[in-house]
A and B are shown apart, each in its own frame.
Chain A
Amino acid sequence: MRAACVPVPTRAQSTALSRSSAPRQIDRTPETEPSLAEMTTKALAALTPVLALTLTLNLTLILTLTQPNPDPDPDPNRARTLTLTRTKALELLSAEGRGFFLLVEGSKIGTAAGANDAAAHVREVLAFDEAVGVVLRWAQRDGQTLVVATANHETGGLSLGRGVVSDEQVRVRLSLATGRLTLARTLALTRLTLALTRLTRLTPALALILTLSPARSLARWRRRRCARAPSPPRRGRGSTHPPTTTRPCSRG
């Protein structure tokens, strides 16, 4: 049996990105460098005539395909050690099994994520997707090849929706902080009551009482606080916090 293993050093989101959903304008790999897909195509084309030979000679070919090292300052000693080990492995493994093991590494996505460079990250995910496509088409024709796509680690810890608070959350927070029964507050209370009814299977009336009582005690506490402490100075324009949290006495 043969295996073509395709690891990439971050999330392999290739399956999630179909061609149609890809952004129309993306950053391209520099023209001077061959793309990962081109490199993979060449490697597979070179492998094909050798395959029959490995089957008759009872050999396993081990090949590693990596992109030019983007590491700005690689340690020459370390690089040499790895090369030595890899050559040795090739020699020893060639004595058993049949077929080939090809490792294609999309290594530049790690650099992109390491710089927190989102557009380069997308570019490398698409480049990897293309390389996986090349391997899959080849494997489909061959019929005996196992294709594995995975990552050896994630880099950067990417998350979406950073610091985004929905309007809904802001409205509920504001209305609960206000003492008066405004329209927004009424809506928020209704929503809470309905949620509580659904969750606890209480009757709506009981749920309303349960919702109202903490809100009323909050209002009472705020009134008491107002009587004790003078109102703090108003915040200037451009403050990102909801104004009511800093002015507890203005409406009580």
Chain B
Amino acid sequence: MSMSAEALTDAALAEHGNPPPAALTLNRTLRRRLIVSLTVRLQGAAGLGLLERQELALLREAVDLFGSLGAYGVQRAVGAVVSSRAKLGWSSFGRTGEDVPLHAVGPGSERLRGSMDNSELGRRIERIMGWDLDKLTANLAPPAISQLDRDDPVTAGFASWP
């Protein structure tokens, strides 16, 4: 496998002059041509051989939904086809709660060992660097909350910071 789903999708879209989603939604011939380019690339450049019926159906579905899913949707469909052939499993399209590795080299690295909560890493680096993040947070919060932040439902919660 030498070509990523990302590069493959980009190349197939570039072949048709990177059409906007609206053009693809309206033009059925263009959608068909895009499916053909994707199929040819998967069979040739990605080396999958002949595609199976359900694999083609998946590609067709992603291209038909281009208007709402965009190129990322096509990339996901291509990724799904390649992953199933490569016997790779994916549990989600998003972030997971799996533990992540931590590597550290240099002075202070002996304090960065073992399993820890993610926020603990920040605390340990704070100690190594000789900072006082609590003091910084106290100083930082009030001026950082602008009227724009107060109006925004996502950041409004932070307005009550000391």
Nearest CB on B from A91, distance (A) = 9
Q: Give chain A interface residues in 1-44, CB to chain B under 8 Å.
A: 1, 3, 5, 10-15, 23, 25-27
Instruction: Point out the residues of chain B lying under 8 angstroms from A148, CB to CB.
Output: 102-104, 109, 112, 121, 125
Q: Which of B72, B87, B99, B109 contacts A163 (CB 8 A)?
A: B87
Instruction: Point out the residues of chain A lying under 8 angstroms from B79, CB to CB.
Output: 115-118
**Residue pair B87, A161 in contact (C-beta under 8 Å):** yes
- With A27-B2, A118-B79, A158-B88 given, is the CB distance from A146 to B107 under 8 Å? yes
CA distance A1 to B125 in the complex (A): 11
**Residue pair A151, B107 in contact (C-beta under 8 Å):** no
Answer yes or no: B22 CB below 8 A from chain A CBs: no
**Residue pair B5, A119 in contact (C-beta under 8 Å):** yes
Counted as pairs of residues, one from A and one from B, with CB atoms less than 8 Å apart, the total is 199
Q: Give chain B interface residues in 106-162, CB to chain A under 8 Å.
A: 106-109, 112, 118, 121, 125, 128-132, 136, 139-140, 143-144, 146, 148-149, 152, 154-155
Give B46's nearest chain A residue, CB to CB.
A119
Give A156's nearest chain B residue, CB to CB.
B90
- With A1-B107, A118-B88 given, is the CB distance from A78 to B102 under 8 Å? no
**Residue pair A116, B93 in contact (C-beta under 8 Å):** yes
Q: Which of B5, B82, B97, B102 has the most CB of A within 10 A?
A: B5
Question: What bracket does the count of chain B residues touching chain A fall in?
Answer: 35 or more
CA distance A80 to B93 in the complex (A): 26
Instruction: Point out the residues of chain B lying under 8 angstroms from A80, CB to CB.
Output: 148
Query: Contact flags (1/0) for B53-80 with A, using CB distance below 8 Å?
Result: 0000000000000000010100110111
**Residue pair B75, A3 in contact (C-beta under 8 Å):** no
**Residue pair A26, B129 in contact (C-beta under 8 Å):** no
Instruction: Point out the residues of chain A lying under 8 angstroms from B72, CB to CB.
Output: 72, 115
**Residue pair B125, A3 in contact (C-beta under 8 Å):** yes
Answer yes or no: A199 CB below 8 A from chain B CBs: no
CA distance A116 to B88 in the complex (A): 9
CA distance A85 to B137 in the complex (A): 10
**Residue pair B107, A144 in contact (C-beta under 8 Å):** yes
**Residue pair B96, A155 in contact (C-beta under 8 Å):** yes
Nearest CB on A from B137, distance (A) = 10
Answer yes or no: B94 CB below 8 A from chain A CBs: yes
Give B154's nearest chain A residue, CB to CB.
A78
**Residue pair B105, A136 in contact (C-beta under 8 Å):** yes
Nearest CB on A from B116, distance (A) = 11
Query: Contact flags (1/0) for A77-105 with B, using CB distance below 8 Å?
Result: 11011001100110011001100010000
